[in-house]
Chains A and B, each alone.
Chain A
Amino acid sequence: MAGKVTFDENRCKGCELCTTVCPTKIVIMDKDRINIKGYHPATVKEMDKCIACAACARICPDVVIRVEKL
């Protein structure tokens, strides 16, 4: 199942919890960018590997992540 995640990036507090639960290990911290709060936001670059499991969204304390099934 192919999926797509979107980040409400300026809500992200850079806690990194979402990076620990992704079964395909595609959620990473974007060390090249800083959001409005001053954190490196979480992001996904290899979106084709997302399986829409929503684990990242469920562990995020700040409800940053939206998940869709393609």
Chain B
Amino acid sequence: MAVVFEKTKGLTDKPTHYCPGCTHGIIHRLVAESLEELGLLDKAIGVAPVGCAVFAYDYFSCDMQEAAHGRAPAVATGIKRVHPDSTVFSYQGDGDLASIGTAEIVHAAMRGEKITTIFVNNAIYGMTGGQMAPTTLVGQKATTSPLGRDADHAGMPIRISEMLATIPKAVFIERVSVHDVPNIIKAKKAIKKAFETQMKGLGFSLVEVLSTCPTNWGKTPIEALKWLKENMIPYYPVQNFRTPEEVK
């Protein structure tokens, strides 16, 4: 009997606090498997955000540090500069990264910090109860946009990957999704390439992962995956924006 799939050593045994069907759990697994497969569990230092992933430090079996809301790229910068041989990653939601933390992510990318960011875009502030995020889609209902996001009032949703891909030292940028098994497999390949980019010292790397929030979207987990596919992907295309030659 051969094992085809089992829980990675990159995750601790602690059950997560995430809501049923929340794809934060899938993304944690992909990051943890990538770290294990690249032999990085003893070298990796993760930085957890403020948001639903605030307890990520309990779930990854590598060293972890908690950051203030949006400041994970700044904390990761400090860690990487003091421990250049470690592999440093931040794990951040869209409220964390694309709202309060926009300055930190843009400047970490601009400086070409040799860190990896896992950017979980679920188009909402999950932890605080479903407020509109900069990434909330036009027409999408949130507690602070009960009639749906109005582009005249709130502007258009921010496309972080496209924006960061204009920065010369942001050398690996890819948007992926976890709404079905083929996309989950592709998402893991992108996460591994982002870590490889860092291991080779090539510059800043980021993977934007389209994710669900069944609870605040008011949907079942199954409906939420369908909603992601039909509504998020047309506005947030799943594609690679940049890969350095050395990791192709």
For the complex formed, measure the closest distance between the CB of A36 and the CB atoms of chain B, giving whole angstroms: 10
For the complex formed, measure the closest distance between the CB of B151 and the CB atoms of chain A, giving whole angstroms: 32
Is B181's CB under 8 angstroms from A62's CB? Answer: no
- Chain A contacts of B181 at CB under 8 A? 21, 55, 58-59
Q: How large is the interface on B (under 10, 10 to 19, 20 to 34, 35 or more residues)?
A: 20 to 34
A13 near B: Cβ within 8 Å?
yes
Contact among A10, A13, A66, A70 for B6, CB-based, below 8 A: A66
- Chain B contacts of A60 at CB under 8 A? 25-26
A57 and B5 contact, Cβ closer than 8 Å, known pairs A17-B222, A39-B20? yes
- Chain B contacts of A68 at CB under 8 A? 1-4
A61 and B4 contact, Cβ closer than 8 Å, known pairs A21-B181, A55-B181? no
- Chain B contacts of A63 at CB under 8 A? 7-8, 11, 25, 29
B23 near A: Cβ within 8 Å?
yes
- Chain A contacts of B216 at CB under 8 A? none
- Chain A contacts of B29 at CB under 8 A? 61, 63
Q: Can you list, as one digit per residue, whether each of A34-70 has a CB less than 8 Å from chain B (1) or not (0)?
A: 0000010000000000001011011111110111111
For the complex formed, measure the closest distance between the CB of B184 and the CB atoms of chain A, giving whole angstroms: 5
Contact among A3, A21, A58, A67 for B185, CB-based, below 8 A: A58
A61 and B22 contact, Cβ closer than 8 Å, known pairs A15-B221, A16-B222, A55-B181? yes
Is A61's CB under 8 angstroms from B5's CB? Answer: no
How many residues does chain A have at the interface if contact means C-beta atoms less than 8 Å apart? 29
Is A59's CB under 8 angstroms from B184's CB? Answer: yes
Is B25's CB under 8 angstroms from A67's CB? Answer: no
A-B interface contact total, Cβ < 8 Å: 76
| Bound CA–CA A4/B181 (angstroms) | 19
- Chain A contacts of B11 at CB under 8 A? 63
Is A17's CB under 8 angstroms from B1's CB? Answer: no
A66 and B7 contact, Cβ closer than 8 Å, known pairs A14-B20, A61-B21? yes
- Chain A contacts of B25 at CB under 8 A? 60-63
Q: Can you list, as one digit per residue, whether each of A1-37 has a CB less than 8 Å from chain B (1) or not (0)?
A: 0011000101101111100110000000000000000
15 extra A-B contacts, CB within 8 A, seeds A15-B21, A67-B4, A69-B3: A8-B7, A13-B19, A14-B20, A17-B225, A20-B222, A58-B184, A59-B180, A61-B16, A61-B22, A62-B18, A63-B11, A66-B5, A67-B3, A67-B5, A68-B4
A-B contact pairs, 27 of them (CB 8 A): A4-B1, A11-B15, A13-B21, A16-B21, A16-B222, A17-B21, A17-B225, A52-B4, A55-B181, A58-B5, A58-B181, A58-B184, A59-B180, A59-B181, A60-B25, A60-B26, A61-B16, A61-B18, A61-B22, A61-B24, A62-B18, A62-B25, A66-B5, A66-B7, A67-B4, A68-B1, A69-B3
